[in-house]
Amino acid sequence: MAVSKNLQTRMNKLAKDRAMFEQAKDYAFDYLGGVFEREVYPNEQALQNLKHFDEPMPIEADDPNKILKLLHDYGSPATVATTGGRYFGLVVGGSFAPVMAVKWLTDVWDQLAPLYVTSPIMGKLESVCEQWMNELLGLPKDCAMGLVSGTSMATMAGFAAARYELLRRAGWDVNTKGLFGAPPIRVVVGAEAHSSVFKALAILGLGKDRVELVPVDDQGRMRVDLVPQLDGNTLLILQAGNVNSGSFDPIDELCDMANKTGAWVHVDGAFGLWAAASESKRYLTKGMEKADSWSVDGHKTLNTPYDCGIVICRDRNAMITAMQANGDYILYSDQRDGMLYSPDMSRRGRAVELWATLKLLGKRGVEELVDGLCERASQFADEIKAEGFKVLNDVVFNQVLITCGTPDETASTLRNLQQSGECWCGSGKWCNTPVIRVSVCSWATTEEDISRTVIAFVKSQKAIIK
C-alpha cells in the first residue's frame, strides 16, 4: 500500500509540473523550427548516437526531464523529416501546425474512442466527419465511415463488409457459420493492385492466390475489355491512384458493369480518392459514388498527422454487422459508437485530427492542397526530364517514376540521393524496370524544394559517372 501511495504522490506531483511540459514544448518548437531545412534522412552521426538508448532496464524511476532531454538530443536528430518539404517516400504527407497543436491538446485528453460513453466528444466528431467526408468526396450522404490506422486496415474492413453482405445474399451468415462450406466469393482485381489488397484478402480467408487478375494497360489501369463476366457473387476491387504511376482505373465504366450484376465494388484510394475534392482532378474518380465501399488515408494527401485511415461503406448495416462485438460490459448508446465501424475496440481518437484538418482547410483549402501537390509533381517531371532523366509514367496526380538509363545507374543514383540527406525518395519496379519513385504529398513542398531536389538528382547521377 505504501508503495502505491509513493507512486501516486510522485505522479500527482509530476502532473502539476508545468516546467516539464514547457520543456517538451521548447524541444518541439526547436524541432519544428529546423525541420524544413535539415537533412531529410539522419546522418551517420545521428544514427551512431542511437547507442545512447542501449541500457539495461532501469531499476529505479528516472528523472522525466532527463528522459525528455535524451529524446531531444539523440531522438530528434534520428528522425526522418517526413513533415518537411523534401520527403517523397511512401506517399506520406506532412501535417499542419494548427492541427499538431490540436493533437497536443488531445494527447493530454488521451481519449478511448470505441463508445460514446467512453468519449462523447470523439463520438460527436466522428459523426461530423462522416457527414463532411461524404459531402467532400461526393458520396451518398448516408454512407457509414470508420476510422482505423491506415488504408491497409480500411481495405480489410471494406472487404469484411463485402464478404458479409455477399454471403448474406447467398443465404449464408459468415459471422456464425464461418467460411467452411460457404458459397464461394469471386474476387476480381487489377494486376497492379496494391499489396495491401492481397494481404487483406488473405487475412479474411478469401485467398490471395485464387483472385481473378485483370491485365492492365501501360499506366497500370485495369483493361475494361478484359474484365471477366461479373455476377452477384463478385467482389470487384478498383484502384484510385496506382502506388507507382498514380493512375486511376476507369471507375465509372467498371462500376456500371458491376452494378448491372449486383457485384460489390470496393475502391482502394489511399491517396488518390482525394482527387474527388478537386474540380480539375475530379474526372479521375468519375463514377466512384456508384461503388459500395472505399478506403483512403488522411495522413497521405490530406496531410493529417499520422495515423489516420478511413473506410467508408454505402451499406451501414453490412459494415456494422461485419464489425460488431457484443458483451455485457459493452455499453452501446443511441449516439455514435465508433467501434461499430472498425475492427478495433481499443482505438485512439483519430476523429479530432481529421475534423481539425477539414475545418482548418475547408473545401477550398482541400482543393488547393490537392491541386498544389499535382502542380509540384508536374513541375518535378518537367525539370527532371530537362536534365536528361526519363519519366516513365503519365503524371496525372502526384506520382513520378524516374530511370537513369541502366538499372545499375538508377540504383546507384538513388543510393547517392538517399545518402546525401538532401531529399528522400523510394524505389520500385515498373514494367520490370527499376525506378526511383517520387511521391509529392506534403503541403510544405515548394517550387524551390522541387528544383533543389532535381539538382540533388543531377549531383547524385554525376557522382557515379565520375
Condensed to tens digits (0 to 9), the pLDDT of residues 309-346 reads 999 999 999 999 999 888 888 899 999 999 999 999 99
Mean pLDDT computed over every residue of the chain: 95
Is 90 exceeded by the pLDDT of residue 5? no
Same fold, 103-358 and 369-465: no
Domain boundaries, the chain: 41-78, 103-358, 369-465
∠ Cα 104 40 65 (to 5°): 40
Is 60 exceeded by the pLDDT of residue 1? no
Give the global pTM: 0.96
Q: What is the pLDDT of residues 193-252, one digit of tens each?
A: 999 999 999 999 999 889 999 999 999 999 999 999 999 999 999 999 999 999 999 999
CATH 3.30.470.30 fits 369-465, yes or no: no
Contact between 163 and 322 under an 8 Å Cβ cutoff? The reply is yes
- Specify the higher pLDDT residue, 446 or 465: 446
Q: Given the DSSP bridges, would you call strands 144-148 and 212-214 parallel, antiparallel or unpaired?
A: unpaired
pLDDT-based confidence at residue 3 (cuts at 50, 70, 90): low
Q: What is the pLDDT of residues 349-399, one digit of tens each?
A: 999 999 999 999 999 999 999 999 999 999 999 999 999 999 999 999 999
Is 70 exceeded by the pLDDT of residue 465? no
Contact between 433 and 392 under an 8 Å Cβ cutoff? The reply is yes
The C-alpha cell of 401 is what?
517514376
CATH number of 103-358: 3.40.640.10
Is 60 exceeded by the pLDDT of residue 400? yes
Q: How far apart are CA 134 and CA 380, in angstroms?
A: 32
**Residue of 266, 240, 247 whose CA lies nearest to 255:** 266
Q: How far apart are CA 166 and CA 170, in angstroms?
A: 7
CA dihedral 441, 291, 295, 162 (to 10 degrees): -160
